[in-house]
A and B are shown apart, each in its own frame.
Chain A
Amino acid sequence: MEKHLGNEPILTIENLKKSFGELEVIKDVSLAIEPKEVVVIIGPSGTGKSTMLQCVNLLTKPTAGKIYLENQEITAPSINADKVRQRIGMVFQEFNLFNHLTAIENVTIGMTKVLGMKNTEARNKGMYELERVGLAEQATKYPSQLSGGQKQRVGIARALGMDPHIMLFDEPTSALDPELTGEVLNVMRKLALEGMTMMVVSHEMSFAREVADRIIFMDEGYIVEQGSPHKLFNNPKSERTRRFLSMIGSINREK
């Protein structure tokens, strides 16, 4: 599955560092992501994968380093973070749907309150986004009335509603029962095929193998190794990668 990727990176991370007090979570990470690329980030927990996504979305301020989105340095002090976040879609492990709003209102509130769209226009676009994730019939339900998988699909629709240039997924299926992960991964697979640029932190190895253009293995605040799924899963160069993959039982099992 070769994709034609653009040459100009959409997102560039340069020497990113992030500490929480004494704890150095990201020690030194540099990374460039091309348009339409799907990058899956794997690695043991606590190695800074989610923190990196939060830095990209400016939800956390990096300790050092620069991040560029479409050639604009978004870590510059003069930047309007709200404007930057409008271009970046984020999907959370815990869904974080707005509890007091129905599915459709969850999707449209950003369009009306942030983008200033008219109500009817937002509603049409909201329904289109819900259809994309297969939830048009659940539009008027509240989050508490939806299953975990459905909640996460609404979460994806909410992010899509803002027409993001890149989507970040922070362990989107980790909080789901195993039988519900499939519906979420299917939606993500579809997005990847449509050409969405995606950064996915996930433990879903079969998804990574099938959908990712590139796998990044992170450990202890560094990128240890990266490459195509085929290369990384079948022939990991680093001992640490090999140990991690064998620990989660994913080495050399590609069909």
Chain B
Amino acid sequence: MLIMEKIQNFFLLLRYLLPGLGITISVTIIALAVGFFLGTIMAVIRVYGGRILSGLAASYSVIVRAVPVVVTIFILYFVIAEFINLTPFLSGTLALGFTSGAYQSEIFRGAILSVPPGQMVAARAIGMSRRKAVSSIILPQAIRLSIPAWSNEVTLVLKDSTLVYIIGVPEILRRAQWISARNLEPFMTYISAATFYIVITFLISQGLDFLERRYKVEM
């Protein structure tokens, strides 16, 4: 049966691609974590920092978002890695993280600004320092408010993670390329690769939708 054979073939392909899934997910998670760290810090600096610091953070955001991610990957891998020992995996992941940091700083900055100003005033009125008010009152609300925009960023980083294949990191797309060069069935192979991305994206958005409902803040 031709159909049965095709289906069997499809599952076989998925098995070949599976090791790439781990790498795709690691790249995505590490890049998001780096981006989250950079993004929250830069968002706080841009809203509450002095003129110079917030100017620096704003410039970072503008420049990094203007540069294509592939160029950032190349800069890290071919330039920076000359001086510091960076594996292709780290170069690619950090490049994605730096880029995501710029986008996430925009997301969190918008969210911080949408927390009503009375929240800061009330926090200061019970004796909190500015720093404490930001960390215990403003940020917890801002992060909840930014879940919808953030879940979009997660899927974007997941898809951008394919770009690290350019410097040879064996994630899903790279493996799909190897396989299709051997089995000469690009259609089936790339359909299998696409299936992985669809499934992960679906699971992530379900998970984040749940978080959004669970931690919704009504103003």
Q: Which residues of A contact B (CB under 8 A)?
A: 57, 59, 82-83, 85-86, 88, 90, 92, 94, 96-100, 109-110, 113-114, 142-144, 158-159, 161-162
Cβ–Cβ contact A85 & B218, under 8 A? no
B119 → chain A, closest Cβ, in Å?
Answer: 6
Q: Find A99's partner among B125, B126, B128, B219 (CB 8 Å cutoff).
A: B219
Decide: A82 near B119, CB < 8 A? Known: A100-B140, A100-B144. Answer: no
List of B residues within 8 angstroms of A161 by Cβ: 126
Given the known interface contacts A99-B141, A100-B144, A142-B218, the answer about A82 and B118 at a Cβ–Cβ threshold of 8 Å is no
Contact A96 B118 (CB under 8 A): yes
Chain B interface size, as a band, is 20 to 34
CB atoms of A92 and B118 under 8 A apart:
yes
For B106-130 the 0/1 string (1 means CB < 8 A from A) is: 0000000000101101111111110
B132 at the interface (CB under 8 A from A): yes
B137 in the interface, Cβ–Cβ < 8 Å? yes
**In the complex, what distance in Å separates the CA atom of A59 from the CA atom of B126?**
11
Interface centre among B122, B126, B129 (most CB of A within 10 A): B126
In the complex the two chains form, is A110's CB within 8 Å of B118's CB? no
Closest residue of chain A to B123, judged by CB? A98
Cβ contact within 8 Å between B121 and A59: yes
Minimum CB–CB distance from B101 to chain A (whole Å) comes to: 24
User: Quick check: B119 and A98 within 8 Å, CB to CB?
Assistant: yes
Known: A113-B136, A144-B218. A98 touches B128 (CB 8 A): no
User: Does A92 lie within 8 Å of B124, measured CB to CB?
Assistant: no
Is B217's CB within 8 Å of the partner chain A?
yes
User: What are 26 A-to-B residue pairs whose CB atoms are below 8 Å?
Assistant: A57-B125, A59-B124, A83-B127, A85-B126, A85-B127, A86-B127, A88-B125, A90-B122, A92-B125, A94-B118, A96-B116, A96-B118, A97-B122, A98-B119, A98-B122, A98-B141, A99-B141, A99-B217, A99-B219, A109-B126, A109-B137, A110-B127, A113-B136, A114-B127, A144-B218, A158-B122
Contact B136 A90 (CB under 8 A): no
CB nearest to B140 among chain A residues: A100
Q: Pick the 9 closest A-B CB pairs, nearest first.
A: A144-B218, A86-B127, A96-B122, A96-B118, A110-B126, A90-B125, A114-B127, A85-B127, A100-B217
